[in-house]
Structure 1
Amino acid sequence: MRKISLILACCIAACTVSAQPGISEMQQAQQDLKSTFFSAFDLSLIVAGLFGIIGGLRIYKNVQMGKDRFTADVAAWFFAALFMTLAGVFLRAIFGI
C-alpha cells in the first residue's frame, strides 16, 4: 500500500514539473527585462542630469541674489543627482544586465 501511494505521488509530482515554463519562455522573459531596463536606466541618467541643471540654476540664482549660505543647497542637489546615477548602476548590477 505504501509503495503504491509513493509511486502515485511521484507520478503526480512529475506531471506538475513538466507543466513549468521552458527555456524559451525564460529567455523571452529575460529579453523583455533587458529591453525595458535599458529605458529605465536611461531615465535615471536623464533625471540625474535634470537635477544637476536645475540645481545649478537655483544655486546660480542664490549667488546672484547675494545669499551667503548656499553650501547646503549645493550638497543637496549634488547628492540627489549622484543618487539617481547610482540607483541606475545599482539596478543594472542587481539584474545582471
Structure 2
Amino acid sequence: MPPRPGPRRARIAFSDAAAKQLENITSEAEIHALDRALVVVSVAPDIGEPLPGHAAGPQLRQYTDEVERVRLLYWVTALRTVVVVAYIET
C-alpha cells in the first residue's frame, strides 16, 4: 500500500515589506525559527488569531510562537492555497 501524503500545505508568499524584513535576517537561529513558524502556518493557516479590522479587505491574522520568539502577521487567500505574510518579527 503506498504511503498516504501528509496534509496539504499552502504556498507562502511575502508582501514587499515582509520580503525586506526577510532580507535583514542574518542569524541562522532566527532563520530556523522563522522556517518553523512558516511551516506551521502553511499547514494550518487558521492557527493564528484574527486581528480586528474591517470587512473590506482580507482578514489579517497573527501567529506567535512563544518558544521560537517569532511573530507573523498574514492573511490567507480565499481558496486557502496561499498564505501572504505581511510582517515578520523575530
Name the TM-score, length of structure 2 as normaliser: 0.29
Structure with bigger helix share is: 1
Structure with bigger strand share is: 2
Name the TM-score, length of structure 1 as normaliser: 0.27
Computing the radius of gyration from Cα coordinates, the structure with the larger value is: 1
